Chain A
Amino acid sequence: MEQNLGRRNNKYLAAGLVMTLLVAGVALLGVFWTPYGTTVMSASEKFHGPSLRHLFGTDNFGRDIFSRVMKGAGATILISGLVVSVSGAMGILAGAVTGYFGGILDEVMMRITDAVNGFPSVLLGLVIISVLGPGRQNVVISLVIVFTPSFIRIVRSEFIRLRDADYISRARMMGVGRLRILFVHILPNTMSTFWASVMIGFNNAILAESGMSFLGIGVQPPDATLGNMLSDAQGYLTRAPWYALAPGLTMVWIVLGFSLLGEGLRRTQT
């Protein structure tokens, strides 16, 4: 029984890993090399369907969609990755301190996160962007602000659960330093929950970034992201369906891959 369960978990993990590694590999390759320039326009090659020459076809400016998806997926993953790592790191720090020590600091921090959570997350992001102005950097900043509270809450609740555990009380009695207790004794035991939420957070960040670019307030054209490609493509849905399908399916692929990865990780650890 135990063994059986383990094997099934590996399937999720394996599928997720394969999908994620594939798209990450292609996106990484896109940083150094793409089949065509991502902004090179060609009047004679507007709206060519998918072919061997242009794997995903070309868009209204005759640009190669495959190259743009490579770059765009890279940009989207990079932004989401940055957002999740910064939010995650801040979440661990703030969550650990507030969860373990409690008191007034905890109270203040929780009210702040309540306030942030009080707004629909994308809406709050939009407000921050409209103050800061559009652009790559500001998307990261606004999404970090939106995403950090949930990480703080998750880490904090884990620390509260563990701070009164027997092994921690013993450690305290033995005179182990606070920092050591926090980050060597408790933190490793919160990681399974934390990683699962990172996976979900990453997916949400991808969708949020794409949403912002779709609305035209994220990464500015002519730089490609999956979101602004989708936005450009919606005017050509019937004439050039491949234009919307390429970034759309790529997004589905990335999100699905990460969901499977997250699910796999969660199951191996329970």
Chain B
Amino acid sequence: MRKRLLCCLFMALLTMTALGGCAGGTGESSGDKSSTESQGDSNATQAGEPKYGGSIVVGIQQDIDSLDPHKATAAGTKEILFNIFEGLVKPLEDGSLTGAVASDYTLSDDGLVYTFTLRDNVKFHSGEAVTAEDVKYSLERVSGLLDGTALISTMKAIQSVEIIDEKTVQVTVGSPNPELIYSFVAAIIPAGSGEDEAADPIGTGPFSFVSYTPQEGIRLAKNGAYWQEGLPYLDQVDFKIITSSDTALLEMQGGSIDIYPYLTDSQAKELSGSFQILSAASDVVQALFLNNAEKPLDDVRVRQAICYALDKDSVNDFVTGGNSVPIGSAMLPTLHDFYVDLNGVYGNAADIDKAKELLADAGYPDGFDLEITVPSNYEVHMQTAEVVVEQLKLAGINATINGVEWGTWLDQCYNGRQYQSTICGITCDMTPGYLLNRFQSESKKNFINFVNAEYDAAYASAQECVTLEERAQYYNQLQQILADEAGTAFLQIPPITIAMNPKLAGYKFYPVYVQDMSTVYFTE
């Protein structure tokens, strides 16, 4: 009898420990939350008076690929280098451009000659003033005039760079291109510095480079001689590499990171008590990309059926908490002058009857099997895939998810084009043609194998236009073709959500992927 009792006790004890362990964990963190919520409240009533000085830590997701601003290709590197380097022009929050190293520029009537006037008092971090020589060197380096290899491909258009006087530089291009001015954000570096930049980057930006430790992070210090009066506020910024978002969450809760820019919806909710949560539209177009060369997706009716079967509103609701912007074609809504709202073509809600009808027309009355390859390290895309699988099921399409590593995805889907469909995001820059360029039949980046003669012709016509207004018409047409032909099932622009220490203010969102620390300041 006693033995039986002991046995029961033992069992009970085990269960209790298991339960207690888990419950203890959650109890602790909910305690955290309530204590930090009060902090958040007190912050809300503060007046945001900017204070100079102080240092912050910003969490970033991946290591730097190169500190040479002309050679860095990863978006995660460029967003940091934005603080160290500046081009002749630089972007503003609304996506327009403003003078940086150049105070002004003019474009000849035929669109072939750019004349830049350099700003006074712009100094490199080394203390030397920026001269026309430096500008000429930098532009020749990126355009390939220096050694034959163009470091920035759009800059290949530059045919010559001439120094008119010590404050004026003239750039001649081969053919008129109203979107080329966006490429002049390319960094201006000291003449002759070239390969040294990778080890000791010297630019004109609001922060100067201090040190870089691979796998750990990069440290920047205030550029006291920055040409913009009163900026930056902070004395020091550390970018700390944290590859796991779960680790980042823990570090934020522990208080060792001040700004973390890539939160998922659920993380934002976890942190909302203790941090300021800011959110804006990102520059990523998320879609269920359909490989137009694979059966049965080579049939436009099948692709349209998939578009009809998707319920963009519920993807938005389930995955991004309703903060996304649904889209119907390849253009960022933030590029107002070029964007056409094509969500109406297939609707934001699902139209299952229409989808089934089209499938029956195409010869698949009972649906078909569809494999969706997803880069599994992206939580947003994985969750979207789960929702999409459910939605397609209603239309009779039997979809399965194949989660792969990022490297595998790049090899297999993006470069190899060996896939049926994939959910991922493609980033855009500020040039409206950037996203549309990739869907030309022969484009190297056309990983969905979209082939449409009308599209190619319209894109070619657009490139011949000298003004952006004329281009806009063709770009509208391109978006329409892409939507009508259901080249791919566009979903949404997911939001970019950042968490920031409540004592900080002044964070700015840009339509491109940058972390501008120059305007961030402490309020207390």
Contact = CB atoms under 8 A, between A and B. Distances in A.
Nearest to A19: B11
A237 B26 contact: yes
Contacts of A130: 405
* Most chain B beta-carbon neighbours within 10 Å: one of A15, A222, A234: A222
Contacts of A234: 246
Interface in A101-140: 130, 133-135
Contact of A256 (B14, B30, B33, B404): B14
B318 A238 contact: no
In this complex, the member of B14, B264, B318 whose beta carbon has the largest number of chain A beta carbons within 10 angstroms is: B318
Contacts of B385: 221
B22 A244 contact: yes
B19 A249 contact: yes
A41 B246 contact: no
Contacts of B393: 39
Contacts of B405: 130
Contacts of A7: 3
Interface in B250-287: 264, 266-267, 269-270
Contact of A134 (B22, B389, B390, B402): B402
Interface string A231-268: 00011111101001100110010001000000000000
B222 to A, nearest CB: 36
B403 interface: yes
A223 to B, nearest CB: 9
Given A7-B3, A60-B266, A216-B403, A235 B379 contact: yes
B7 A238 contact: no
B314 A43 contact: yes
A11 interface: yes
B435 to A, nearest CB: 29
Interface string B392-409: 010000001111110000
Contacts of B214: none
A28 to B, nearest CB: 23
Contacts of A8: 3
Given A39-B390, A249-B18, A235 B266 contact: yes
Contacts of A169: none
B327 interface: no
B403 A217 contact: yes
Given A15-B7, A43-B318, A238-B30, A220 B403 contact: yes
Given A43-B314, A221-B386, A238 B270 contact: yes
Interface in B365-383: 376, 379, 382-383
Contact of B390 (A11, A40, A239, A245): A40
Nearest to B23: A241
Contacts of B473: none
A61 interface: yes
Interface string A143-183: 00000000000000000000000000000000000000000
A135 B401 CA distance: 10
Contact of A41 (B4, B23, B390, B403): B390
Give the interface residue-count category, chain B.
35 or more
B414 to A, nearest CB: 18
Listed residue (B4, B317, B385, B386) with the most chain A CB atoms within 10 angstroms of its CB: B386
Nearest to A43: B317
Interface in A19-42: 39-41
Interface string A203-232: 000000000000011001110000000000
B494 to A, nearest CB: 16
A61 B314 CA distance: 10
B191 interface: no
Contacts of B18: 249, 252
A56 to B, nearest CB: 14
B29 A238 contact: yes
A220 B7 contact: no
Given A11-B3, A241-B26, A248-B22, A41 B318 contact: yes
B248 to A, nearest CB: 12
A238 B33 contact: yes
Contact of A222 (B3, B30, B389, B402): B389
A130 B393 CA distance: 29
B387 interface: yes
B344 interface: no
Nearest to B386: A222
B379 A221 contact: no
Contacts of A236: 266
B267 A235 contact: yes
Nearest to B18: A252
A85 B26 CA distance: 38
A91 B404 CA distance: 33
Contacts of A135: 402
A235 B11 contact: no
Nearest to A221: B386
Interface in B25-45: 25-26, 29-30, 33
A61 B246 contact: no
A38 to B, nearest CB: 11
Interface of B: 3-4, 7, 11, 14, 18-19, 22-23, 25-26, 29-30, 33, 246, 264, 266-267, 269-270, 314, 317-318, 376, 379, 382-383, 385-387, 389-390, 393, 400-405
8 A-B pairs closest in CB distance: A241-B26, A238-B29, A216-B376, A11-B7, A235-B266, A222-B386, A220-B401, A252-B18
9 contacts: A39-B390, A43-B318, A61-B318, A61-B387, A133-B402, A222-B386, A237-B29, A238-B30, A239-B270
Given A216-B376, A221-B401, A241-B23, 7 more contacts: A7-B3, A11-B3, A43-B314, A130-B405, A237-B25, A244-B22, A248-B22
